């Protein structure tokens, strides 16, 4: 009887496996910051990594902003990719005296894009650049920009018109609004703010750039710290990091569906250690994030999670023994098997 039962069980498992279609490879592009080449002092550079969405990947090079020994104290962080992977916005700081600035790297031309006006005052601290899918709009946060808030505010830069735009009804004078994330379609803008009357000390807000207003996200925030938002291509899914109770430990990654107004499960993604800095592919299938789990290659490592298979994917060559952080992921194409 046991032999018959085991035979039937194996047959059922094999039948179920055959019923599941084989994973089709895709072409993912990740950008990340890493100190792997510049350890003393540990100034990060922006690197690019290609992955097939299954388990194979390779490094594609880095943003070359320090060639010939120029800008040795330059630290490049928080990359954000256009939908086609050609343009990469990021933030850069030159030593401790520099305020920080927004840059855009053209991967096709291998050079920085001219961004007049956005860098009119190098003492203004500008961080958290986020690029629209077409590469024409940059969201970023700035500290005490003249004529606006005296604290952190969220601003937009029109790459084609080469001018700054301040979204209406944002940037309250006495409170911080920062960590912006823009959807690929350019309509939605998420950010973190410590506005009194919110659910917790810091909450994630969603701003409709078409309607020029903040929209409600019931059930997304907690009474703890909710920050570092990321959006899917159409802005339906909002990922964030949070240290709320009930998680796996420390900070965890959460995913919110703003249409259904509920949190979505992420089985196998979080650990007992800190998870942070999420990034969603345009279709919301892949989620890149940073973890400080002890079995990683370094103190901070970048991980890639497939929501379809609910698994962490192997990423050979992605991480180093140094700090790897601030990931951004975009899906360039689906590779059809022959």
Q: Looking at per-residue confidence, does 43 or 172 come out higher?
A: 43
b (16+ CB within 10 A) / e for 189-220: bbbbbbeeebbbebbbbbbebeeeebeebeeb
Counting Cα atoms < 13 Å in the Cβ hemisphere of 192 gives 20
Distance of CA 192 to the CA centre of its chain: 14
Of the candidates 329, 291, 268, the residue with the CA atom closest to the CA atom of residue 83: 329
Express each pLDDT in 79-116 by its tens digit: 999 999 999 999 998 766 666 889 999 999 999 999 98
**Mean pLDDT, the chain, as a whole number?**
89
Q: What is the pLDDT of residue 14?
A: 39
Q: What is the pLDDT of residue 196?
A: 86
Q: Is 309 helix (H, G, I), strand (E, B) or coil?
A: coil
- CA gap 41, 95 in Å, rounded: 10
Express each pLDDT in 42-51 by its tens digit: 889 999 999 9
Q: How confident is the model at residue 119 (pLDDT cuts 50, 70, 90)?
A: low
Residues forming a β-bridge with 44: none
Q: 26-35, 58-67, 266-275: which has the minimum mean pLDDT?
A: 58-67
b (16+ CB within 10 A) / e for 283-303: bbbbbbbbbbbeebebebbbb
Could you tell me the two tokens for 240? 């964030």
Residue 72 CB: number of other CB atoms within 10 A?
A: 11
Q: What is the pLDDT of residue 100?
A: 83
- Across the beta sheet with 45-51, what order do the strands follow? 57-62, 45-51, 26-34, 324-334
Q: What is the pLDDT of residue 98?
A: 67
pTM: 0.90
Residue 8 CB: number of other CB atoms within 10 A?
A: 10
Express each pLDDT in 228-249 by its tens digit: 999 999 999 999 999 999 999 9
Q: 190-199, 202-211, 249-258, 267-276: which has the minimum mean pLDDT?
A: 190-199
By the 8 A CB rule, do 293 and 271 touch? yes
Express each pLDDT in 11-28 by its tens digit: 443 344 344 455 678 999
* DSSP structural state of residue 3: H
Express each pLDDT in 295-334 by its tens digit: 999 999 999 999 999 999 999 999 999 999 999 999 998 7
Q: What is the pLDDT of residue 1?
A: 44
Q: Looking at per-residue confidence, does 63 or 22 come out higher?
A: 63
Domains and CATH numbers, the chain: 26-334 (2.120.10.30)
List of residues 6+ apart from 42 with CB closer than 8 A = 35, 322, 323
Q: What is the pLDDT of residue 42?
A: 83
- CA gap 191, 22 in Å, rounded: 37
Q: What is the pLDDT of residue 38?
A: 80
- CA gap 139, 317 in Å, rounded: 30
Of the candidates 249, 256, 248, the residue with the CA atom closest to the CA atom of residue 221: 256
Q: Looking at per-residue confidence, does 107 or 125 come out higher?
A: 107
């Amino acid at each position: 009887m046991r032999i018959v039962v085991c035979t039937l069980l194996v047959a059922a498992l094999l039948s179920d496996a055959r019923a599941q279609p084989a994973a089709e490879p895709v072409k993912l592009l990740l950008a990340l910051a890493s100190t792997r080449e510049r350890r003393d002092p540990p100034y990060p550079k922006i690197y690019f990594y290609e992955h097939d969405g299954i388990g194979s990947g390779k490094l594609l090079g880095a943003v070359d902003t320090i060639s010939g020994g120029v800008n040795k104290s330059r630290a490049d962080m928080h990359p954000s990719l256009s939908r086609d992977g050609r343009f990469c916005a990021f933030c850069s700081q030159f030593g401790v005296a520099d305020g920080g600035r927004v840059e855009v790297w053209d991967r096709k031309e291998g050079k920085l894009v001219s961004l007049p006006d956005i860098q009119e005052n190098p003492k203004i601290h500008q961080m958290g650049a986020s690029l629209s899918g077409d590469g024409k709009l940059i969201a970023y946060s700035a500290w005490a920009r003249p004529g606006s808030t005296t604290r952190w505010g969220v601003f937009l830069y029109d790459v084609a018109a080469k001018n700054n735009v301040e979204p209406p009804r944002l940037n309250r004078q006495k409170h911080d609004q920062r960590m912006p994330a823009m959807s690929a379609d350019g309509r939605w803008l998420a950010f973190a703010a410590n506005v009194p009357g919110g659910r917790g000390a810091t909450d994630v807000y969603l701003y409709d750039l078409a309607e020029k207003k903040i929209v409600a996200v019931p059930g997304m925030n907690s009474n703890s710290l909710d920050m570092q938002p990321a959006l899917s291509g159409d802005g339906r899914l909002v990922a964030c990091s949070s240290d709320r109770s009930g998680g796996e430990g420390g900070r965890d990654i959460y995913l919110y569906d703003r249409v259904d107004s509920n949190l979505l499960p992420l089985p196998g993604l979080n650990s007992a250690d800190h998870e942070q800095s999420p990034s969603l592919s345009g279709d919301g299938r892949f989620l890149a994030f940073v973890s400080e789990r002890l079995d990683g290659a370094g103190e901070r490592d970048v991980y890639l999670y497939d929501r379809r298979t609910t698994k962490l994917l192997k990423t050979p060559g992605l991480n180093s023994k140094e700090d790897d952080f601030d990931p951004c992921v975009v899906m360039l194409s689906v590779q059809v098997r022959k």
